[in-house]
Amino acid sequence: MNGVLPDSGIRTLIQSNAITADPAIIPDQIQPASLDLRLGTVAYRLRASFLAGRGHRVMDRLADVQMHQMDLSGGAVLERGCVYLIPLMEHMSLPEGLTAVANAKSSTGRLDLLTRLVADGGTEFDRLPEGYDGPIYAEVCPRSFSVLVRPGMRLNQLRLRQGQAVLSDSELSDLNAREPLVGGQALIDNGLGFSVDLKPASGNLVGYRARPHSGVIDLDRIGAYEAAEFWDELRTTQGRLILDPGAFYILVSRESVAIPADYAAEMAPYLAMVGEFRVHYAGFFDPGFGIGDTGTGARGVLEVRCHEAPFVLEHGQVVGRLVYERMAARPDRLYGAGIKSNYQGQGLKLAKQFR
């Protein structure tokens, strides 16, 4: 059946050696609709980002752009504004008919840690074609904060897909009629649209802006850092914010969204024509997001970067959309149900390293 592979399908690929790793994949890498990927033991500092290009291997192109090599075994700092290539522990041998797409994990995006999948023969980031057989790499560029990383850390994840799985707008409308996907009226146009919340129900805290000169963040230290040392609070009673060019913001959607058990979703940026900003990192939403134990839906955290000119962002302005896909089968476990789901039932929330 066409659709996104669930956890059971990922386990089958591992058992058949279509996905291998050294060291072996551990059970909690397997999410309801994706596989977490682990950093290897070495990082290459690059002078520029690159793609291997058709017919070329990543390692053959590395000499053109490598500056130096770093051993990650004892932990190493990836510095803000620099670009690194890190071989991943996993190796892919995709069967015919199966493709893969990668994306940053939630906490990675909330740290403004640009992480993209690179592969041999690749002409675009974050994509593996059917039949791909080879190593995979993470290109990592810390944009706001320097970070301490170690082998085995998981910055991005892989979703595997058989055939066409994306719901059309009419199919999405039918699904919303059966199982409401959003609190309030659904805006369906090339996916489920969502807007920014700049008029919170209580208080006047609407978001955070990354501070430009902060310390190093050890990604393994959960709840270890005072948010005020890394973020400026954004407060308004006007229902608007002026975004500064080059600045990075954490905001939240006005709508609470839900992903039913037989579907997965991906956050996509809204059209660039709406303004000089971007919902910076697309992201995966697993089956069960916004449902789980809470049953109330969860809001989407927005990672926003302003580009060429200052821009006034208004409450209720549409800033992105969720593209829904069918699952090939229902996952054995849903997001938030007995697994470590840090952001179930979330509102405005920073990455898990902050308190």
Whole-number Å distance between alpha carbons of 55 and 96: 19
Cβ of 223: how many Cβ atoms within 10 Å?
8
Cβ of 312: how many Cβ atoms within 10 Å?
10
**CA-closest candidate to residue 125, choices 4, 17, 281:** 281
Q: What per-residue string of b and e applies to 30-55 under the rule 16 or more CB within 10 Å gives b?
A: bbbbbbbbbbbeebbbbeeebbbeee
Contact 115, 138 (CB under 8 A): yes
Whole-number Å distance between alpha carbons of 243 and 245: 7
What is the chain's pLDDT, residue by residue, as a tens digit (355 residues)?
899 999 999 999 999 999 999 999 999 999 999 999 999 999 999 999 999 999 999 999 999 999 999 999 999 999 999 999 999 999 999 999 999 999 999 889 999 999 999 999 999 999 999 999 999 999 999 999 999 999 999 999 999 999 999 999 999 999 999 999 998 889 999 999 989 999 999 999 999 999 989 999 999 999 999 999 999 999 999 999 999 999 999 999 999 999 999 999 998 866 555 565 777 666 899 999 988 555 557 888 899 988 888 999 999 998 888 999 999 999 999 987 655 555 444 679 999 999 9
Return the structure tokens found at 40.
């290897």
3-state secondary structure of 42: strand
**CA-closest candidate to residue 250, choices 203, 300, 316, 296:** 300
Return the structure tokens found at 117.
């999948």
